[in-house]
Every structure is written in C-alpha cells, then in structure tokens.
Amino acid sequence: MRTFYRLRDELQSNHVITLVLNYSNFNAMRCLELSRNAIWEQRLKEAARLHGDECVGLAIGIRAVDIVERELRITTDRSALQVRVGTKECLADAFKALLGLDKGQVECVKPRDGVIRVKNGIEGIELHLTPNKLRQVSDAFERSEEELFPIIRRL
C-alpha cells in the first residue's frame, strides 16, 4: 500500500504549493529540498525586481523572511509589522519586496551588527546573522537555518 504525504509551503499572498510525495518512488527529503530551492529561486527573482540584482544579501534576506513568516505566522494584514535590519540594504529589500512593506516599516540601522529584529504587534523575533562570509547566492540557499542564523529568539 502506498503512503502519500501532503506538504504545503505557503508563499506570499494566496499562492500555495502542494506537493504529493510517494515514498516508494521518491527520496522525499530530496524532493522537498528541490521544491524549497525552487521557491527560493522564484522569490529571489521577485525581490530582485525591487532591489536591482540577485545578490547573496538578498538571498539571505529571503531566508530570513521565510523564518519570520513561519515563526510569527504572518497573515495578509501586515500593517503592524516593523523590521529593523542591522545589515546592508539588501536584506531590508527582501522584506520590502516579499512582504509588501513600505519604507516606514523597514529600517536599516547602524552599527551593522548583523541582527534582524521583527515586531508584529506584541510578538517579535530576533535573528543573528552568521559572522561567516557567504560569497554566492547558492551558499545562502544551501546552508541550514542554524548555520545562517545561529541565534533565533523570540522577543
């Protein structure tokens, strides 16, 4: 008897991708990894329209947005979101492009301490970017969350 599992990844707005994996025919983890990378590649193209190019900072921002969306359960109402980014403008542009935030909701702060703080009303999350230098977009997509953001904590 074949066992099917449904895995859902919600994208911004109302786009939903549902994957049905048959464990007797597929390596499930590999399929999930491929689909996740395809989603990140699509989001990178989307964010690059605002940012101007596809760079490693934008790719890291896409990973940060994914974590924030998941942990804070971001809905279509994003009016209470406030983002403070202690990095280059690239990460801030990922939040603007993918979450549809305006300049007043996303702030780049100095010093560049590598910390991203996101508040959604009373809830919040803080992500500390790895001090290890990433050189390519693929580096950001291949690393685990723990490698990219060694500290992730609720505010």
CATH class of 4-154: alpha beta
Residues 125, 67 contacting (CB under 8 angstroms): yes
- Residue 44 dihedral angles phi and psi, to the nearest 5°: -65, -45
Which pTM does this prediction carry?
0.75
Residues 11, 41 contacting (CB under 8 angstroms): no
* Cα(100)–Cα(46) distance, integer angstroms: 11
* Cα(155)–Cα(152) distance, integer angstroms: 10
Cα dist from 17 to 9, 14, 56, 62, 107, whole Å: 6, 10, 25, 17, 31
Contacts with 16 (C-beta within 8 Å, 6 or more apart), sequence order:
8, 9, 10
pLDDT in tens, 4-31: 333 333 333 333 444 444 444 445 444 5
pLDDT in tens, 73-130: 887 778 888 999 988 888 999 999 988 888 889 988 887 888 999 998 888 999 999 9
DSSP 36-50: HHHHHHHHHHHHHHH
- Residue 90 dihedral angles phi and psi, to the nearest 5°: -60, -50
pLDDT in tens, 51-77: 888 889 999 999 999 899 888 888 777
* Cα(22)–Cα(41) distance, integer angstroms: 24
